[in-house]
């Protein structure tokens, strides 16, 4: 009787983005033999840094959801606990399609107001629409509770004005998708359950906020979210994980991965931690069509912006005729560490969807567009001579994850994690990666 040779590794992780790094780190820390394959020349995926006019900044995500402490817990374990920071409390604004600019209501979730008749809600949607939203408190809890998508749920409970003027600008800015296309349980976990318990969407929002820790719904890291990548990479080295940059997986099954160079790596577990497009290419499937998000970062000399005329940033309602950006983050107001690095200058990050900005848009055109939009959004004249630098970053937006709420998927004894499974956002991606690693660690070692 012959026996198969023991696998060379306990796990092969395909992909060196945040999900892959977290899986490999947790497995390595538990003493497992791990190899991580990354086709590119650096780790981190879309969590990266860039420098604009001498200021080092996050090129991708610049904040994380604090709900559940998922990201904060990892950051603390990586030695970054004392570097966790909260944004400036002045909050964000919204610019409506008619040009009106208002602070976002203070007691909401994804723009859904916790108090429909609050003054800051009425300022945005008007008294008549607020009265319609207040009818939510008279409707039975089950009304709308079976809706799988966020848009129809809000529309049924509070009316179209709340959806169009509050929720849609926030959701489009945060998730790059319309509320009608987003699964409620992914972007607002627990909301439907609380709706049934509270018999009111507004009360459900207030209850979810009360269950969260005091403080902001988002957090950051002094020096940037990219510091997670730095510390994860350091831990991989400490724990002896075999990290292979420039190594692309060509094929895989439940017990092996073959690289482009022809090397076959055997393992007890295979974890695919790729985005949807790369995963499709690896599986030999047609890559799904996606759009393009362009981030234009301006570093400007404008002392008049010290007053933060639009708080920490602005979300722009779809259909606004004179502003092409979908959002502006006033990074040097939102984050004290950015202000320190900017040394009296202001850092503004504007985001654009295609086809407003495409890869064919010249840098000089993007600079002019971003400057014009920044002036319109902030209500402050900004001459080009005051611009010290412009940064350009392009991302393909993550595909919407399937409904169901799972943050890790098992397909044919292969574990899949990352944005394609968990959806957009660091919290979900990290939760899925840690769940996958824990499942492997809990199994006995051969």
Cα–Cα distance measured from residue 18 to residue 274, given in angstroms and rounded to the nearest whole number? 10
Domain 105-210, CATH homologous superfamily name and number? protoporphyrinogen ix oxidase, domain 3 (1.10.3110.10)
- Count, residues in the chain: 446
Considering only the top CATH level, what class is 293-395? Answer: alpha beta
Whether residue 99 contacts residue 320, with contact meaning beta carbons closer than 8 Å, is answered with yes
pLDDT tens profile 71-86: 999 999 999 999 999 9
* Residue 350: predicted pLDDT: 98
In the structure encoding, which two tokens stand for residue 390, read together? 């412009």
Tell which residue, 165, 109, 167, 117, has the closest CA to residue 137.
Answer: 117
Report the 10 Å Cβ neighbour count for 9. 21
* Residue 214: predicted pLDDT: 56
Cα–Cα distance measured from residue 313 to residue 42, given in angstroms and rounded to the nearest whole number? 31
Assess whether pLDDT exceeds 70 at residue 379: yes
Helix (H) or strand (E) holding 72: helix 70-77
Q: What is the DSSP string of 213-230?
A: PSS-SEEEETT-TTHHHH
State mean pLDDT over 234-258. 97
Question: Which residue ranges make up each domain of the chain?
Answer: 9-45+226-289+400-441, 105-210, 293-395
* Residue 174: predicted pLDDT: 82
What is the DSSP-derived secondary structure letter of residue 44? Answer: B
Whether residue 103 contacts residue 93, with contact meaning beta carbons closer than 8 Å, is answered with yes
> pTM here?
0.91
Q: SS3 of 426, please?
A: helix
pLDDT tens profile 269-289: 999 999 888 888 898 887 666
* Residue 391: predicted pLDDT: 98
- Angle, to 10 degrees, between the axis of helix 150-158 and the axis of helix 191-198? 20
Could you tell me what percent of the chain has a pLDDT over 70?
A: 94
In the structure encoding, which two tokens stand for residue 264, read together? 């076959």
Q: Please tell me the CATH code under which domain 9-45+226-289+400-441 is placed.
A: 3.50.50.60
State mean pLDDT over 168-185. 89
């Amino acid at each position: 009787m012959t026996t198969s040779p023991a696998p060379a590794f306990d796990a092969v992780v395909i992909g060196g983005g945040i999900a892959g790094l977290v899986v490999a780190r947790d497995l390595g820390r538990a003493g497992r033999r791990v190899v991580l394959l990354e086709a590119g020349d650096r780790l981190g995926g879309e969590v990266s840094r860039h420098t604009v006019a001498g200021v080092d900044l996050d090129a991708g995500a610049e904040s994380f959801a604090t709900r559940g402490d998922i990201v904060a817990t990892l950051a603390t374990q990586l030695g970054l606990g004392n570097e966790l920071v909260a944004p400036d409390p002045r909050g964000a604004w919204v610019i409506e399609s008619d040009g009106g600019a208002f602070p976002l209501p203070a007691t909401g979730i994804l723009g859904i107001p916790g108090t429909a008749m609050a003054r800051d809600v009425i300022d945005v949607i008007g008294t008549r629409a607020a009265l319609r939203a207040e009818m939510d408190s008279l409707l039975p809890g089950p009304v709308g509770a079976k809706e799988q998508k966020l848009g129809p749920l809000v529309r049924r409970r509070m009316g179209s004005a709340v959806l169009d003027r509050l929720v849609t600008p926030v959701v489009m800015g945060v998730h790059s998708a319309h509320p009608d296309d987003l699964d409620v349980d992914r972007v607002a976990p627990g909301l439907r359950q609380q709706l049934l318990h509270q018999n009111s969407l507004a009360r459900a929002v207030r209850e979810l906020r009360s269950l969260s820790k005091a403080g902001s719904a988002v957090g950051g890291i002094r020096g940037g979210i990219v510091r997670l990548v730095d510390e994860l990479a350091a831990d991989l080295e400490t724990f002896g994980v075999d990290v292979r940059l420039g190594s692309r997986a060509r094929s895989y099954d439940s017990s092996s991965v073959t690289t482009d160079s022809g090397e076959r790596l055997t393992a007890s577990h295979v974890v695919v931690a790729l985005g949807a497009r790369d995963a499709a290419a690896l599986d030999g499937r047609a890559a799904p069509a996606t759009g393009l998000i362009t981030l234009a970062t301006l570093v400007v000399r404008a002392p008049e912006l010290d007053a933060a005329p639009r708080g920490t940033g602005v979300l722009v309602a779809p259909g606004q005729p004179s502003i092409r950006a979908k959002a502006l983050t006033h990074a040097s107001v939102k984050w004290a560490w950015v202000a320190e690095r900017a040394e009296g200058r202001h850092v503004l990050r504007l985001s654009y969807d295609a086809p407003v900005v495409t890869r064919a848009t010249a840098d000089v055109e993007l600079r002019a567009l971003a400057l014009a939009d920044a002036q319109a959004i902030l209500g402050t004249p900004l001459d080009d001579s005051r611009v010290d630098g412009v940064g350009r970053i392009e991302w393909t937006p993550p595909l919407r994850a399937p409904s169901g709420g799972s943050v890790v998927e098992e397909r044919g004894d292969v574990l899949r994690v990352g944005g394609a499974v968990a959806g957009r956002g660091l919290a979900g991606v990290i939760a899925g990666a840690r769940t996958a690693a824990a499942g492997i660690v809990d199994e006995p070692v051969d």
